[in-house]
């Protein structure tokens, strides 16, 4: 399914573009208005929020309004108001030609996007000239098309009209524009009268001859076109199309062409309805209004570095203790859990390390370049008469990219049934990273361990339009910065923690009391996924700087989703700690459309139908340029998998096949959710890293060499399937 989360042109960047073009600190406002405008008195550039606008068209619209800001005087508004709407269109057409010529002369880089932008408007018939004979329109419309679109419009001019074109091309001052517009308005009055008179004469001639089959003037019924006649497209218009005709045409063809042309001319006259006005200017104004967003618009700001302090959120591993102090002297303390785990996974991890080193070496060989050293190879001198290659070679290897991993783990109550397998998957990944010297940090995001400074700030601080960060904490549960002894203690504690979460009784039926020793702040809590994504960019960039990583792989592992919406901070009362006038940023639908602006990337993002999480992930990628991988733990039942897949954008028709692949491969990949790769993986016992032995695969009875070979292949494949987290991440690292 195509996700409708899409990045729009940034309001912030466009605001800065407008200010730079205008060479002054303009006030640039984005409002729910129908058209762009510039207030000459207050020096405010007002831009609407447009839908379906290309970058070239955006540059055209902004450049056009800045042109008015630079060159159009206040008197323009007075003259336009005084002369009436129709004269205002004439004045606007001539002034547009002058200010657009000036802005393109000042900034030649605008020429191409403005030309492309107008071409796109013609292709979408924003000037309303499709199926019309442009040359039969009033001079004001042909001038408008000529100066905006160029010869592509098909506009032609008589010898009498050419002086107007020359004057507009040479106009420097607004006074000249006003004079030209006044004379042009008077000329078009006479032109319209003449065209109406000619149309009436043609109509009278048809009535006298009794032929009114092509009468386009008398009634709506007569104006209906033949269904079999294909209308011409403006895309194929060319100035040569408006010549008198092909000299080789037969007399009948000439008469038919003339009759059709006369009909088009009559139709063009009718379009003006007896008014001297610019049809193309009115059509363009109306169609640009239709581009503007008419739904209720909600805009929030993504939290930036100045909106929070990582020290209020991150709990360093030095400040963590999963168990109370007396746990380590109790009967429930199991100091050998890590060593047993390492023995169980040693062969599999060593195999994966070997695979990784082979891939790494292959990638290294692809970066080797060989060149002549300039020193003669004495062993090749004998062949100098027929071989030019007699120099020693030197090989150089381009340095590879330095990788790092930042992993965020869901520490919510719903993870209880999955926590044991999750910890095992984590430890296989961190053990692998330690063996191949890859920097890593693992954070558990939770609502249980929240620093008091964070809670107090959330009650009283925060910018009004910034998305609110609900109280949460990031526990740094594992890190490559840990000393070996510290790492082993934390790894053993995590395995113990997971064991107590999923085991209640011993084999003898005795109740396991180990969970009673778990620190209250370290227990499983809520799922602050969106808040974690909002601050993750600062965590990732700090990790990159500290460990000097060129490529950072960011991994999220969760068994659930956060809310599909978030609120802005609103107006906070410091006395009582509550907020008013909050804005809800949620999925865009047929009633509202939500945007998230990001000052860090200077981009504005539209929130799609899947909620704000994919949008926040896109912002994270743009801020950090990381590889972003997601794992979503789902129960291995169709009634659990199918709803999750549907929420993530998988079509109902594809759910059956997706579930079959999910059961077979122990993962299913989902696209268009903000991640580079997003995997649904089975939870519970399927997360375990326990491998099947050869005996489990082939049985205890005697077997053939062929079956034994197949069993070895299946066992090696199982090593990857059972360590899905590690195997998927390795592909990004190698």
pLDDT digits (tens, 9 = 90+) for 696-730: 444 545 555 555 455 545 555 555 555 566 677 77
Q: Is 560 exposed, middle or buried (0-12, 13-18, 19+ CB in 10 A)?
A: middle
The DSSP secondary-structure symbol of 25 reads -
Q: Angle at CA 470, nearest 5°, toward 533 and 418?
A: 60
3-state secondary structure 592-653: EEEEEEECCCCEEEECCCCCHHHHHHHHHHHHHCCEEEEEEEECCCHHHHHHHHHHCCCCHH
Cα torsion 525, 529, 535, 539 to 10°: value is: 80
Given pLDDT bands bounded at 50, 70 and 90, which one contains residue 479? Answer: very high
Helix, strand, coil share of the chain (percent; to 5): 50, 15, 30
Of residues 590, 616, 591, the one with CA closest to residue 605:
616
Q: Which residue has the tokens 């390390």?
A: 353
What rounded mean pLDDT belongs to the chain? 78
pLDDT at 5 over 80: no
End-to-end C-alpha distance for the chain, whole angstroms = 30
Of residues 231, 203, 208, the one with CA closest to residue 219:
203
pLDDT at 472: 92
What is d(CA 117, CA 61) in angstroms, rounded to the nearest whole number? 9
What is d(CA 137, CA 265) in angstroms, rounded to the nearest whole number? 8
pLDDT at 613 over 90: yes
What is d(CA 613, CA 630) in angstroms, rounded to the nearest whole number? 12
What is d(CA 628, CA 618) in angstroms, rounded to the nearest whole number? 9
pLDDT at 172: 94
Question: Which tokens go with 718?
Answer: 């199982």
What is d(CA 372, CA 390) in angstroms, rounded to the nearest whole number? 9
User: Mean per-residue pLDDT for 591-609?
Assistant: 84
User: Mean per-residue pLDDT for 223-233?
Assistant: 40
What is d(CA 478, CA 440) in angstroms, rounded to the nearest whole number? 8
Q: What kind and span of H or E run contains 653? A: none
Question: Which tokens go with 239?
Answer: 């100035």
pLDDT at 57 over 50: yes
Residues 6+ apart with CB under 8 A from 728: 629, 631, 667, 677, 679
What is d(CA 459, CA 24) in angstroms, rounded to the nearest whole number? 39
What is d(CA 75, CA 96) in angstroms, rounded to the nearest whole number? 15
pLDDT at 405 over 80: yes
pLDDT at 239: 37
CB 409 within 8 A of CB 633: no
Which has more pLDDT, 392 or 629? Answer: 629
Given pLDDT bands bounded at 50, 70 and 90, which one contains residue 376? Answer: confident
What is d(CA 45, CA 63) in angstroms, rounded to the nearest whole number? 11
* 155-159, 557-561, 591-595, range with the lowest pLDDT: 591-595
What is d(CA 683, CA 512) in angstroms, rounded to the nearest whole number? 23
What is d(CA 266, CA 214) in angstroms, rounded to the nearest whole number? 11
Strand partners of residue 439: 404
pLDDT at 210: 62
What is d(CA 730, CA 734) in angstroms, rounded to the nearest whole number? 6
pLDDT at 308: 83
User: Mean per-residue pLDDT for 57-82?
Assistant: 85
Maximum average pLDDT range among 243-252, 362-371, 654-663: 654-663
pTM of the predicted protein model: 0.65
User: Mean per-residue pLDDT for 133-150?
Assistant: 91
Q: Which residue has the tokens 């950072």?
A: 552
Of residues 116, 139, 140, the one with CA closest to residue 57:
116
Of residues 526, 603, 530, the one with CA closest to residue 565:
530
User: Mean per-residue pLDDT for 550-571?
Assistant: 86
User: Mean per-residue pLDDT for 504-525?
Assistant: 85
Give the number of other Cβ atoms within 10 Å of residue 602's Cβ. Answer: 15
What is d(CA 715, CA 554) in angstroms, rounded to the nearest whole number? 29
For residue 580, the number of C-alpha atoms closer than 13 Å in the C-beta half-sphere is 3
Maximum average pLDDT range among 88-97, 261-270, 719-728: 88-97
Q: What kind and span of H or E run contains 91? A: helix 85-106
Cα torsion 478, 482, 485, 487 to 10°: value is: 10
Question: Which tokens go with 681?
Answer: 């993986």
Tell me the CA distances in angstroms from 137 to 168, 267, 341, one per residue in order: 19, 10, 84
pLDDT at 518: 92
Tens-place pLDDT, residues 172-199: 999 999 999 999 999 999 999 998 888 8
Backbone phi and psi for residue 75, each to the nearest 5 degrees, phi listed first:
-60, -25
């Amino acid at each position: 399914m195509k996700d409708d989360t899409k990045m729009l042109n940034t309001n912030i960047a466009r605001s800065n573009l407008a200010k730079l073009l205008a060479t002054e600190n303009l006030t640039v406002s984005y409002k729910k208005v129908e058209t762009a405008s510039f207030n000459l008195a207050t020096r405010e550039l007002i831009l609407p929020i447009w839908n379906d606008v290309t970058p070239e068209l955006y540059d055209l619209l902004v450049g056009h309004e800045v042109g008015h800001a630079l060159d159009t005087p206040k008197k323009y508004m007075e003259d336009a108001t005084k002369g009436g709407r129709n004269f205002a269109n004439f004045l606007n057409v001539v002034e547009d030609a002058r200010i657009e010529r000036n802005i393109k002369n000042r900034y030649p880089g605008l020429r191409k996007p403005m030309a492309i932008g107008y071409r796109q408007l013609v292709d979408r018939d924003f000037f309303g000239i499709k199926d019309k004979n442009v040359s039969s329109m009033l001079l004001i419309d042909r001038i408008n098309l000529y100066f905006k679109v160029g010869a592509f419009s098909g506009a032609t001019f008589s010898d009498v009209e050419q002086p107007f074109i020359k004057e507009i091309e040479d106009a420097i001052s607004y006074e000249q524009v006003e004079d030209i517009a006044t004379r042009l308005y008077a000329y078009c009055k006479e032109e319209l009268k003449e065209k109406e008179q000619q149309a009436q004469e043609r109509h009278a001639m048809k009535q006298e001859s009794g032929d009114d089959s092509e009468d386009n003037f008398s009634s709506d019924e007569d104006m209906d076109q033949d269904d079999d006649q294909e209308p011409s497209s403006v895309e194929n218009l060319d100035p040569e199309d408006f010549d008198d005709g092909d000299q080789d045409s037969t007399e009948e063809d000439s008469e038919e062409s003339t009759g059709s042309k006369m009909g088009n001319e009559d139709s063009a006259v009718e379009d003006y309805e007896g008014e001297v006005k610019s049809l193309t200017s009115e059509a363009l104004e109306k169609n640009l209004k239709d581009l503007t967003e008419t739904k209720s618009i909600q805009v929030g700001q993504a939290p930036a570095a100045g909106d929070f302090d990582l020290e209020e959120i991150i709990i360093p591993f030095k400040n963590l203790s999963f168990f109370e102090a007396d746990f380590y002297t109790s009967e429930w303390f199991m100091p050998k859990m890590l060593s047993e785990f390492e023995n169980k996974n040693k062969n599999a991890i060593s195999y994966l390390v070997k695979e990784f080193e082979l891939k790494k070496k292959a990638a290294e060989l692809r970066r080797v370049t060989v060149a002549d050293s300039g020193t003669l190879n004495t062993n090749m001198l004998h062949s100098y008469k027929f071989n030019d290659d007699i120099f020693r070679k030197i090989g150089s290897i381009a340095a590879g990219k330095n990788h790092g991993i930042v992993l965020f783990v869901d520490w919510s109550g719903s993870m209880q049934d999955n926590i044991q397998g999750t910890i095992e998957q984590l430890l296989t990944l961190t053990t692998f990273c330690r063996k191949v010297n890859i920097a890593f940090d693992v954070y558990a995001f939770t609502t249980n361990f929240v620093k008091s400074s964070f809670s107090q700030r959330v009650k009283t601080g925060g910018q009004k339009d910034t998305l609110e960060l609900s109280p949460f904490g990031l526990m740094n549960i594992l890190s490559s910065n840990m000393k070996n002894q510290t790492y082993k203690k934390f790894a053993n504690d995590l395995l113990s923690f997971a064991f107590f979460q999923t085991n209640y009784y011993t084999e003898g039926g005795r109740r396991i009391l180990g969970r009673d020793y778990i620190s209250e702040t370290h227990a499983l809590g809520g799922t602050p996924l969106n808040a974690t994504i909002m601050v993750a960019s600062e965590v990732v960039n700090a990790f990159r700087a500290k460990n000097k990583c060129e490529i950072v792989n960011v991994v999220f592992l969760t068994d659930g989703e956060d809310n599909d919406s978030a609120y802005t901070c609103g107006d906070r009362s410091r006395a009582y700690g509550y907020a008013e006038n909050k804005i809800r940023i949620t999925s865009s639908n047929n009633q509202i459309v939500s945007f998230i602006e990001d000052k860090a990337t200077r981009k504005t993002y539209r929130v799609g139908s899947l909620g704000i999480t994919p949008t926040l992930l896109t912002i994270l990628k743009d801020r950090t340029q990381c590889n972003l991988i997601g794992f979503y733990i789902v129960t291995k039942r169709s009634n659990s998998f199918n709803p999750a897949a549907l929420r993530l954008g998988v079509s109902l028709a594809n759910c059956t096949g997706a579930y079959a692949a999910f059961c077979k491969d122990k993962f299913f990949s989902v696209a268009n959710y903000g991640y580079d790769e997003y995997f649904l993986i089975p939870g519970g016992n399927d997360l375990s890293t326990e491998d099947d032995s050869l005996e489990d695969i082939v049985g205890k009875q005697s077997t053939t060499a062929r079956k034994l070979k197949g069993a070895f292949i299946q066992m090696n494949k199982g090593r990857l399937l059972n360590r899905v987290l590690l195997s998927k991440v390795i592909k990004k690292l190698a």
